[in-house]
Amino acid sequence: MWIVDNGCSKHMTGDRSLLRNFVEKFLRTVCFGNYHFTAIKGYGDYVQGNITMCHVYYVESLGHNLFSFGQFCDGDLEVAFRSKSCNMRNLEGDDLLTRDRESNLYTISILIWLLLHPFVLCQKPL
């Protein structure tokens, strides 16, 4: 499960085993909402079926997978937040995914995307 995070600059995970083509490299530190700092220890590609998320940061102490809508939009895709839902679509206006807000969070399952749309979520090179 991935949490859609508007404060997250890049996709991030605390689970190193999810990443392929992993590059171990100190990139910088990140600061969480509780003002806790930790290191970004590398990056890799998250692959699930026909979905690829490129350059996902590995943050060892992170307890959740964070989906950066800023990075998503860099791929010529858009995200629209409403009070009770979040819609993700391509620039032609085709809905790729709509999720309801639960417990004040917008969460997405990459497995749902597998059934809907094959695409690659990549950013420009680091």
Count CA within 13 A, CB hemisphere, residue 104.
Answer: 0
Q: For residues 66 and 3, give the distance between their C-alpha atoms in angstroms, rounded to a whole number.
A: 5
The answer to whether the Cα torsion of 95, 124, 108, 3 is positive or negative is negative
pLDDT above 90 for 84: no
- Check: pTM over 0.85? Answer yes or no: no
What CATH class is the domain 2-121? mainly beta
Q: For residues 95 and 98, give the distance between their C-alpha atoms in angstroms, rounded to a whole number.
A: 7
% of residues, the chain, pLDDT over 90: 24
Q: For residues 89 and 61, give the distance between their C-alpha atoms in angstroms, rounded to a whole number.
A: 31
Q: What would the pLDDT profile of 28-78 be if each residue is shown by its tens digit?
A: 998 877 888 999 999 999 987 767 888 899 999 898 898 887 777 777 777
Sorted by where each begins, the domain ranges of the chain are: 2-121
Give me the amino acid identity at 38.
T
pLDDT score recorded for residue 95: 76
